[in-house]
Amino acid sequence: MIRLKSPKEIERMREAGIVVARALRLVRELAAPGVTTAELNAAVEELFARAGAEPLFKGVVSGPGKPPFPAVICASVNEQVVHGVPGDYVLRSGDILSVDTGCRLRGWCADAAITIPIGEISPEDEKLLRVTRETLALAIREMGRAKRWSQVARKMEEYVRDHGFSMVDQFVGHGIGREMHEEPQVPNVVTKALLRSDFPLRPGLVLAIEPMVNAGSHRVRVTEDQWTVVTVDRSRSAHFEHTVALTPAGPLVLTADPEADDVAA
How confident is the model over 65-81, as a mean pLDDT?
96
Say whether 127 sits in a helix, a strand or coil: helix
Contacts of 195 (CB under 8 A, 6+ apart): 150
- Catalogue all structural domains in the chain, each as residue range(s) with its CATH number: 7-248 (3.90.230.10)
User: What distances in angstroms separate CA 97 from CA 36, 67, 214, 222, one per listed residue?
Assistant: 11, 23, 13, 18
String of DSSP letters for 154-186: HHHHHHHHHTT-EE--S--EEE-SSSSSEEEEE
pLDDT tens digits for range 230-257: 999 999 999 999 999 999 999 999 999 9
Of 97, 81, 3, 93, nearest to 41 by C-alpha is: 97
What is the number of other CB atoms lying within 10 angstroms of the CB of residue 259? 8
How confident is the model over 141-152, as a mean pLDDT?
97
Counting every residue written for the chain, the total comes to 265
pLDDT of residue 63: 82
pLDDT of residue 261: 64
At 194, is the pLDDT very low, low, confident or very high (cuts 50, 70, 90)?
Answer: confident
pLDDT of residue 259: 85
How confident is the model over 29-55, as a mean pLDDT?
98
The Cα 104–Cα 177 span in angstroms is 9
Q: Is 203 exposed, middle or buried (0-12, 13-18, 19+ CB in 10 A)?
A: middle
Pairing verdict, β 96-105 and 108-117: antiparallel
Q: Is the pTM of this model over 0.85?
A: yes
The Cα 206–Cα 3 span in angstroms is 9
Contacts of 81 (CB under 8 A, 6+ apart): 98, 168, 171, 212, 214, 220, 229, 230, 231, 237, 239
